[in-house]
Amino acid sequence: MPSPFTPKCPPHLPSIANPQSSSADTITHPNSSSALKSPPPLPPNTTLQPLTPTLVPSYRRLLTAHLPILYPPKFYALSTTPPLETGTLALCITLNPPSATPSSPPTFGSPNSPLAIAAIQARLEPIPPDPSAPPSSSPQPHNLYIQTLTTASPYRSLGLATHLLSALISRAIQIWSCCRIERVYAHVWEANEEALGWYLRRGFGREERKCEGYYRKLRPGSAWLVGRAVGVGEYLRAGAMGVEGEGKKDGEGGAGERGVHG
């Protein structure tokens, strides 16, 4: 399915990643404080970074091993294309090989290959304008749709998925600073109570009715739609952070955020 993303970033629009911008006042507070809390720190010997072609084989193995659906090649192609071109943003947490240094990124297949142990991928979706509303010069509202979120089994309950969700929202606000990202949402397979609970404990609300037949190849085939507002605190946090890595290709740097060695 083609990506619904159409870049609409006229340069005259104010950036709402700037905490001084008055447009940030229009963002609704989520009904949970979880959106305002700082994410857990990265564990030692891990790095948060954008997906790069080098990491795709490891990323594909992670998803194939832990999710009940198979993603097409297009999904992986989008995961490494610059977000401003595609409206897709993919981040992963890698386990640092023992001798890795930020200045010499290893290539996949070598003994020092970085291993993706957790990943998140999302796409930016424009919210259609209300035809009855008067024309507005404010940034176009968008939703951030989480397409996938996975942590490899041995690395669960270390805060990796929580860190990824927080980083995804911060970086999306920074990268698509000409948009107003109002909500973050996801589909959760109805049989996946663990993931549903995980989202609910992070301030996501669940729609009352299931999306019947959402998963054509799974039994049961329904999904819960979960979502929450993007909060002012997340805009403030994103404004205080720098953008690294996104839009760069393999070998161009963007080593990302590294866990503190304990």
Ligand X SMILES: CC(C)(COP(=O)(O)OP(=O)(O)OC[C@H]1O[C@@H](n2cnc3c(N)ncnc32)[C@H](O)[C@@H]1OP(=O)(O)O)[C@@H](O)C(=O)NCCC(=O)NCCS
Residue 186 in the binding site for ligand X (CB under 6 A): yes
According to CB under 6 A, which one of 13, 36, 67, 84 is a site residue for ligand X? Answer: 67
Handedness of CA 122, 157, 67, 226 (dihedral sign): negative
Q: Which is nearer to ligand X, 70 or 253 (CB)?
A: 70
Residue 159 in the binding site for ligand X (CB under 6 A): yes
Q: How many residues bind ligand X (CB under 6 A)?
A: 21
Of the candidates 55, 158, 56, 66, which has an alpha carbon nearest to the alpha carbon of residue 100? 55
Please give the Cα distance from 140 to 180 (Å, whole number): 6
CB of 165 closer than 8 Å to CB of 119:
no
Q: Rounded to the nearest whole angstrom, what is the least distance from the CB of residue 84 to ligand X in the complex?
A: 26
Q: Which is nearer to ligand X, 156 or 258 (CB)?
A: 156
Q: At what angle do helices 160-175 and 232-240 cross, to 10 degrees?
A: 80
Of 23-31, 72-80, 174-182, 184-192, which part binds ligand X (CB under 6 A)?
184-192
Residue 160 in the binding site for ligand X (CB under 6 A): yes
Interface of this chain with ligand X, residues 76 to 135, rule: CB under 6 A:
118
DSSP state string for 227-260 = EEEPPHHHHHHHHHSPP-STTPPTTS----EEPP
Provide the binding-site residues for ligand X, judged by CB under 6 A: 40, 66-67, 118, 149-151, 156-162, 186, 188, 192, 194-195, 198, 201
